[in-house]
Amino acid sequence: MNKITPFLWFNNNLAEAVTFYKSVFKNVNVISPRLIEGKIYTATFEIEGQRFMALDGGPHYTFNPAVSFFVNCKDQAEVDDLWNKLTADGGKESRCGWLIDKFGLSWQIIPEDFSRFMATTDLEKSQRVMQAMMKMNKLIVADLQAAYDGN
């Protein structure tokens, strides 16, 4: 088990959330659902190797963007796929690659290229990329590349 594992509090929709994340991500493993009266009460699951623990605790607490999950995407196709799935059915787009899914969890859907562009020692290039990113909701690799190249 990981030393630190995110623990998520859902509002009477944990089973729906786990089913949803299984439809969004390629590698989801439900390790241990705990049932009470036929309903999932707690669950441990992994998404792309990251373990989560969750409770179906009711409406006492809600998620907010102060905590988000950063997803490093290999290319635009993966960004598009995850963005579309996570914003479906009540999810909301936000700025700069952030979104909130229908359960209220915040995600950062970021292409690998963005980190490469920002790692440059050329301050002008990284500032252009940052300015381009600040105008976007979903990040578009081609537009970030154009900003990096000065086009």
Asked if residue 1 has pLDDT above 80, the reply is no
C-alpha 88/C-alpha 83 separation (Å) is 8
CATH superfamily of the 1-61 domain: 2,3-Dihydroxybiphenyl 1,2-Dioxygenase, domain 1 (3.10.180.10)
Task: Please state whether the predicted TM-score (pTM) of the whole model is above 0.75.
Answer: yes
Asked if residue 120 has pLDDT above 90, the reply is yes
Domain with CATH 3.10.180.10 in the chain: 1-61, 63-151
Look-up of token digits 């907010």? 64
pLDDT for 75-87, tens place per residue? 999 999 999 999 9
63-151 is classed CATH 3.10.180.10: yes
